[in-house]
């Protein structure tokens, strides 16, 4: 499914972030972008993730290294929550059987 | 509506400096920020409280007013004038307030206490996640019966006054989350809309339990059918089925009706199994004749 993209420059303008901040996201591999260094372009699908990074950075004062460590942990938590939910659904049934 | 001690919320004393407030807020926000606490309603609520406390105490004007009148917030008349002025900043069409039939838990959508609003007026709070380009995501919870979840069907939801018709595929699981692209709040400056996330809550039916794609039920069986075999009618999610009972069926034994279970999510025509556990009922209030016949039987055996 193809979607729209947004240039790094435009993104920085709308979100009031410095270009070098965006560039460091790209360098650290936190966001995937295309195009060349002079005109980076990002898929709109990436926006929610970058918004989250900006929130973590601005609202909580977490630096990029910290964010790099946190994001995979959050993903892991979400996976584990899904698994836990699945197991709980199963457990309900077993509890019923025991009575 | 109760008085809220914002100093207590942030764990600081009344003489706290702006720097103390900022530090206390940051520390608590790191603990309860929704981005760091996915799917955790308690943390989200806590974060909202911290945010509100910070909103008041970090703003010198609001803090002054709170310190002066906060305890007497019930004398609303005194604040009427201020409220009118503040009211001008009210944002149009507060997002997330128009949900119907399900609860909205998104942060940054207003979400201030009535105490706050009575003191400072509605809409006096800065909105944390104001849209800059891409619209905000909405999060909603929708409850379905097991029966509803067993067929692909359409439902109309009202989101911010707009009717949205969505198709719910058969076989969705309890706790499953689906994303509806572009159904979130509208973007600004040509940005894309946010997405709508719906989490499904599907409680078990009173008689039919679900595990994955299999359905489980317990059916009462009279002693005679259990011993001699026969046929009984069993309720499934979509009507009754006739089920053969083997002679000498044991109490607690199970039979499996292959392909009569729950539809498999996004696999049309594929179904799980329907499992029946027999619960044999021993006859009670036996007549003399029945009793003597059972006695005869018991002598025959062994």
Nearest CA-CA distance, residue B210 and chain A, Å: 7
CA distance B297 to B167: 60
Nearest CA in chain A to B30: A60
For residue B302, pLDDT beyond 70: no
Write the residue in A16, A51, A74 that is nearest to B134 by C-beta: A51
Domain ranges of chain B: 6-96+112-120, 138-201, 208-285
Contact B134 A47 (CB under 8 A): yes
pLDDT at res. A91: 83
Q: Is the model more confident about B53 or about A96?
A: B53
Contact B191 A14 (CB under 8 A): yes
State mean pLDDT over B282-296: 95
pLDDT at res. B71: 72
Write the residue in A11, A81, A93 that is nearest to B38 by C-beta: A81
Average pLDDT over chain A reads 88
CA distance B122 to B97: 13
Q: Count of CB atoms within 10 A of residue B102's CB?
A: 17
State mean pLDDT over B47-53: 93
Number of H helices, E strands in chain A: 4, 3
pLDDT at res. B74: 57
Half-sphere exposure in the Cβ direction for B255 (13 Å, CA): 17
Sign of the dihedral defined by the CA atoms of residues B100, B104, B106, B112, in that order: positive
pLDDT in tens, B132-152: 899 988 888 899 999 999 999
Write the residue in A11, A59, A70 that is nearest to B29 by C-beta: A59
pLDDT in tens, B210-263: 988 999 999 999 999 999 999 999 999 888 999 999 999 999 999 999 999 999
Provide, as residue numbers in chain A, all residues whose Cβ is less than 8 Å from the Cβ of B175. Answer: 82, 85-86, 88-89
CA distance B21 to B9: 11
CA distance A13 to B157: 35
Nearest CA-CA distance, residue B283 and chain A, Å: 23
Q: Is the model more confident about B77 or about B196?
A: B196
For residue B79, pLDDT beyond 60: no
| Binding-site residues on chain A for chain B (CB distance < 8 A) | 3-4, 6, 11, 14-16, 44, 47-48, 51-52, 55-56, 59-62, 70, 74, 77-78, 81-82, 85-86, 88-90, 92-93, 96
Provide, as residue numbers in chain B, all residues whose Cβ is less than 8 Å from the Cβ of A86. Answer: 173, 175
**Which residues, 6 or more positions from B162, have their beta carbon under 8 angstroms from its beta carbon?**
none
Predicted ipTM beyond 0.95 = no
Contact A55 B33 (CB under 8 A): yes
Contact A93 B137 (CB under 8 A): no
State mean pLDDT over B163-186: 90
pLDDT in tens, B8-40: 999 999 999 999 999 999 999 999 999 999 989
Q: What would be the CATH architecture of the domain defined by B6-96+112-120?
A: Orthogonal Bundle (1.10)
Tell me, yes or no, if the two domains B138-201 and B208-285 fold the same way: yes
Write the residue in A4, A77, A86 that is nearest to B192 by C-beta: A4
For residue A82, pLDDT beyond 50: yes
For A12-16, A86-90, B39-43, B171-175, which range has the lowest pLDDT when averaged over its residues?
Answer: A86-90
For residue B284, pLDDT beyond 70: yes
Provide, as residue numbers in chain B, all residues whose Cβ is less than 8 Å from the Cβ of A77. Answer: 38
Bridge pairing between strands A33-34 and A5-7: unpaired
Provide, as residue numbers in chain B, all residues whose Cβ is less than 8 Å from the Cβ of A3. Answer: 192
Nearest CA-CA distance, residue A67 and chain B, Å: 11
For residue A52, pLDDT beyond 60: yes
Nearest CA-CA distance, residue A35 and chain B, Å: 20
Residue B143 forms beta bridges with which residues? B201
Q: Which domains does chain A have, with CATH numbers?
A: 5-98 (1.10.1660)
Provide, as residue numbers in chain A, all residues whose Cβ is less than 8 Å from the Cβ of B149. Answer: none
Contact A92 B175 (CB under 8 A): no
Mutation for testing the B interface, residue in A2, A80, A89, A92 having most B CBs under 10 Å: A89
Place of tokens 């909580």: A60
pLDDT above 70 covers a percentage of chain B that reads 84
Integer CA distances (angstroms), B75 to A39, A62, B112, B218, in order: 58, 42, 19, 61
A/B interface, count of CB pairs below 8 Å: 68
Confidence of residue B68 (pLDDT cuts 50, 70, 90): confident
Q: Is the model more confident about A33 or about B127?
A: A33
Confidence of residue A39 (pLDDT cuts 50, 70, 90): confident
Superfamily covering domain B138-201? Urease metallochaperone UreE, N-terminal domain (2.60.260.20)
Q: Is the model more confident about B263 or about B76?
A: B263
For residue B273, pLDDT beyond 60: yes
pLDDT at res. B279: 97
Provide, as residue numbers in chain B, all residues whose Cβ is less than 8 Å from the Cβ of A8. Answer: none
pLDDT in tens, B87-138: 443 333 333 333 333 333 333 345 788 888 878 877 676 655 567 899 988 8
Mutation for testing the B interface, residue in A74, A93, A95 having most B CBs under 10 Å: A93
Topology annotation, domain B208-285: HSP40/DNAj peptide-binding domain (2.60.260)
For residue B181, pLDDT beyond 80: yes
């Amino acid at each position: 499914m193809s979607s729209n993209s947004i240039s790094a420059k435009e993104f920085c303008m709308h979100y009031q972030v410095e270009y070098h901040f965006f560039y460091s996201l790209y360098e650290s591999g936190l966001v995937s972008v295309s195009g060349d260094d002079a005109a980076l372009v990002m898929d709109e699908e990436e926006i929610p993730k970058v918004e989250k990074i900006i929130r973590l950075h601005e609202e909580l004062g977490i630096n990029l290294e910290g964010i790099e460590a946190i994001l995979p942990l959050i993903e892991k938590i979400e996976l584990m929550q899904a698994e836990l939910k699945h197991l709980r659904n199963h457990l309900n049934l077993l509890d019923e059987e025991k009575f | 509506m109760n008085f809220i001690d914002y100093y207590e919320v942030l764990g600081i004393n009344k003489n706290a400096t702006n720097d103390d407030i900022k530090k206390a807020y940051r520390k608590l926000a790191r603990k309860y920020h929704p981005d760091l606490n996915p799917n955790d309603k308690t943390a989200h609520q806590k974060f909202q409280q911290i945010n509100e406390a910070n909103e008041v105490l970090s703003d010198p004007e609001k803090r002054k007013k709170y310190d002066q009148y906060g305890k007497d917030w019930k004398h609303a008349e005194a604040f009427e004038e201020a409220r009118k002025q503040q009211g001008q900043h009210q944002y149009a069409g507060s997002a997330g307030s128009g949900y119907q039939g399900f609860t909205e838990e998104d942060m940054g959508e207003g979400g201030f206490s009535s105490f706050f609003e009575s003191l400072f007026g509605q809409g006096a709070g800065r909105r944390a996640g104001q849209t800059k380009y891409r619209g905000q995501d909405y999060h909603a919870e929708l409850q379905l019966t097991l029966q509803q979840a067993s067929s692909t069907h359409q439902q109309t939801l009202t989101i911010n006054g707009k009717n949205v018709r969505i198709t719910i595929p058969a076989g969705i699981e309890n706790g499953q989350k689906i994303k509806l692209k572009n159904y979130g709040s509208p973007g600004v400056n040509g940005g894309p809309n946010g997405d709508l996330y719906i989490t499904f809550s599907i409680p078990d039916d009173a008689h039919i339990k679900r595990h994955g794609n299999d359905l489980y039920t317990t059916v009462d069986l009279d002693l005679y059918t259990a011993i001699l075999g026969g046929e009984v009618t069993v309720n499934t999610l979509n009507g009754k089925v006739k089920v053969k009972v083997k002679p000498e069926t044991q109490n607690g034994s199970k039979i499996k009706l292959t392909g009569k279970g729950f539809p498999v999510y996004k696999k049309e025509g594929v179904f799980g199994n329907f499992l029946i556990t027999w619960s044999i009922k021993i006859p009670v209030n036996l007549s003399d004749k029945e009793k003597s016949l059972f006695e005869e039987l018991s002598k025959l055996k062994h």
